[in-house]
Amino acid sequence: MKWSLILNTHHLKTTSAIALCLYHYHLNEFDRDIQRKIEDRKDRKYLVVGGNISGIQDFIYTITSKGALKYLRARSLFLELLVEEVVAEILERLKFNES
């Protein structure tokens, strides 16, 4: 049951991200022929970026028992902030931060 919920959540996030990209791509083209433009597969409408940070397991779990929970939380927060910063940098370089 738990995995089903997780997979459904990822599916919903992915589907909504694709729909939002499609909306922004065609924002200024709403007219009678919008369906044909949306279904056009030749035009590049999406950019999918993937990434990987190697060594995360070693970074997080090489903690001594004294104060382990505090250090585990700190390292986990560090990784979360690092990923957010990398995403912000990618968006800025691609000029996607402009609304």
How many CB atoms lie under 10 A from the CB of residue 2? 6
Residue 73 has pLDDT above 70, yes or no: yes
Answer positive or negative: Cα dihedral of 7, 10, 16, 21: negative
pLDDT range class, residue 14, cuts 50, 70, 90:
confident
Mean pLDDT of 76-82: 91
Residue 29 has pLDDT above 90, yes or no: no
Q: Which residue has the tokens 């990923």?
A: 83
pLDDT at 10: 76
> Exposed, middle or buried, 80 (CB in 10 Å: 0-12/13-18/19+)?
exposed
Higher pLDDT, 23 or 60: 23
> Exposed, middle or buried, 90 (CB in 10 Å: 0-12/13-18/19+)?
middle
Mean pLDDT, the chain, rounded, equals 80
Query: How remote is the C-alpha of 4 from its chain's centroid?
Result: 20
